Amino acid sequence: MKKNPVIPYALIAGLGILLVIVVSVVGLNQQEAIQDEENGEQEEQQQQDGESEGGGETAANGEEIYQSNCASCHGSDLSGGVGPDLTSVGSDYSKEELKEIIAEGFPPNMPGGIVKGEEADAVAQWLSEQK
């Protein structure tokens, strides 16, 4: 009796297709769970941000925002680089003036609008404390 050589390949192909379907279904369920978890974390973060609108939190966020948006030009320690030294900028400008500079830019090299809205306010607050 001669065995058909196609049967093992057909069985392997069938099992492979079944395995792909099972993994896809499991993956979709996990994707939904991950999205639900991320949405929950985002809502929790928004609640925390809304609850703690104090000076300490603004200063911490101002520094973090500065480090991620401004430090490449002004230095991570405010010592300058491409942009000017900001170590004592709070002595020269008020919070409102700093916020305007952040929003409008400062000729000749600093473009405006790199940081906007509440983030600009937080950075201006933090920089105004640098004296």
Say whether 80 sits in a helix, a strand or coil: coil
DSSP structure class, residue 93: S
pLDDT at 76 exceeding the cut of 50: yes
* Residue whose structure tokens are 């916020």: 99
Residue pLDDT, tens place only, 26-73: 877 777 777 777 777 666 666 665 554 444 445 558 888 888 888 888
Length of the chain: 131
Q: How many CB atoms within 10 Å of residue 32?
A: 10
pLDDT at 86 exceeding the cut of 70: yes
- Average pLDDT for 95-112: 86
Reading the block at residue 109, the tokens are 């090299």
Q: How many CB atoms within 10 Å of residue 96?
A: 11
The domain limits of the chain are: 1-51, 55-128
1.10.390.10, 1.10.760.10, 1.10.357.10, 3.40.50.1860: CATH of 55-128: 1.10.760.10
Residue pLDDT, tens place only, 107-129: 778 888 888 888 888 988 988 99
For residues 59 and 92, the answer to whether their CB atoms sit within 8 Å is no
